């Protein structure tokens, strides 16, 4: 979707103001720690995937998305996911109190502390085979399709309609646009380079590399 999260090239957002590396804490408030932990542990209940959760954050109203702090966006996304997937009811969320019984198949997935290291260190690989033919080779000139899906996508606006060069082929990976709708399919994934002069105008002597799935492109 053309949401506020798709920020590449946007103006007027002010300076970055980075904190010095040696002084920046991992978290800036106690609640941020719990928000991270809740997001991860609730994710392990297996009711949604990473693209569904990204979409829950990015379809907030742009004013909210941009005014919230990072972990506030995570928290809002988590509340949305829990309600939409029926894990908690709106009333339970409002009252912060359990009203309905929790199905056993869900409580069985509650990760104990002893499982955390194993889950974190095994992660969740995203490669997935496909029967589709690999359409592009390294060195091919491609054009990004002029896509404007209203659902989740990982093709940023600033490259749509532009030409680029395939610089790497990674294999086939879960296609996020479908994954966000609960359909797990594999699709070929490439790295594509774009000329800064073409994207941003003359005098931008940089190269921008973007990972793109095959469905986002055609041969130029």
Is position 23 an interface residue for another protein (rule: CB under 8 A)? no
Counting Cα atoms < 13 Å in the Cβ hemisphere of 63 gives 0
Is position 66 an interface residue for another protein (rule: CB under 8 A)? yes
- C-alpha 52/C-alpha 36 separation (Å) is 17
Query: Is the Cβ of residue 102 or residue 181 nearer to another protein in the bound state?
Result: 102
Query: Is the Cβ of residue 103 or residue 182 nearer to another protein in the bound state?
Result: 103
CA 20 to the chain's CA centroid: 27
Give 195's DSSP letter. Answer: E
In the region spanning residues 36 to 65, those forming contacts with another protein, defined by CB under 8 A, are: 36-38, 40-42, 45, 50, 54, 57-61, 63-64
Q: Which structure tokens are listed for 13?
A: 């957002």
Residues 140 and 165: beta-carbon distance below 8 Å:
yes
- C-alpha 166/C-alpha 140 separation (Å) is 5
CB of 12 to another protein, least distance (A): 9
CA distances from 104 to 43, 107, 119, 166 (A): 17, 5, 21, 48
Which helix (H) or strand (E) covers residue 54, if one does?
A: helix 50-58
Is position 177 an interface residue for another protein (rule: CB under 8 A)? no
Residues 102 and 110: beta-carbon distance below 8 Å:
no
CB of 216 to another protein, least distance (A): 9
CB of 207 to another protein, least distance (A): 5
- C-alpha 106/C-alpha 103 separation (Å) is 6
CB of 46 to another protein, least distance (A): 11
CB of 36 to another protein, least distance (A): 7
Q: Which of 148, 183, 197, 206 binds another protein (CB under 8 A)?
A: 206
- C-alpha 212/C-alpha 169 separation (Å) is 10
- What binding mask, one character per residue, do residues 136-175 give for another protein by CB under 8 A, x or -? ------------------xxx-x---------x-x--xx-
> Count of residues binding another protein (CB under 8 A)?
104
In the region spanning residues 72 to 131, those forming contacts with another protein, defined by CB under 8 A, are: 72, 75-76, 78-80, 82, 87-88, 92-94, 96-98, 102, 106-107, 110-113, 115-117, 119-127
CB of 59 to another protein, least distance (A): 8
């Amino acid at each position: 979707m053309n949401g506020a999260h798709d920020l590449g090239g946007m103006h007027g957002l002010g300076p970055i103001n980075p904190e010095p590396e040696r002084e920046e804490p991992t978290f800036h408030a106690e609640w941020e720690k719990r928000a991270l932990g809740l997001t991860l542990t609730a994710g392990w209940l297996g009711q949604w995937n990473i693209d569904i959760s990204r979409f829950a954050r990015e379809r907030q109203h742009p004013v909210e998305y941009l005014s919230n702090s990072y972990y506030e966006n995570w928290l809002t996304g988590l509340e949305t996911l829990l309600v939409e997937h029926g894990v908690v009811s709106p009333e339970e969320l409002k009252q912060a109190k359990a009203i309905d019984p929790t199905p056993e198949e869900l409580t069985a997935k509650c990760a104990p502390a002893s499982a955390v290291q194993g889950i974190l260190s095994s992660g969740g690989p995203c490669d997935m085979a496909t029967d589709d033919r690999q359409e592009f080779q390294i060195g091919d000139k491609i054009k990004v399709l002029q896509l404007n899906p209203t659902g989740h996508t990982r093709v940023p606006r600033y490259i749509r309609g532009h030409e680029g060069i395939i610089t790497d082929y990674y294999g086939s990976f879960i296609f996020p646009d479908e994954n966000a709708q609960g359909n797990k399919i594999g699709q070929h994934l490439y790295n594509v380079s774009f000329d800064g002069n073409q994207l941003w105008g003359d005098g931008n002597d940089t190269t921008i590399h973007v990972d793109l799935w095959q469905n986002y492109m055609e041969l130029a």
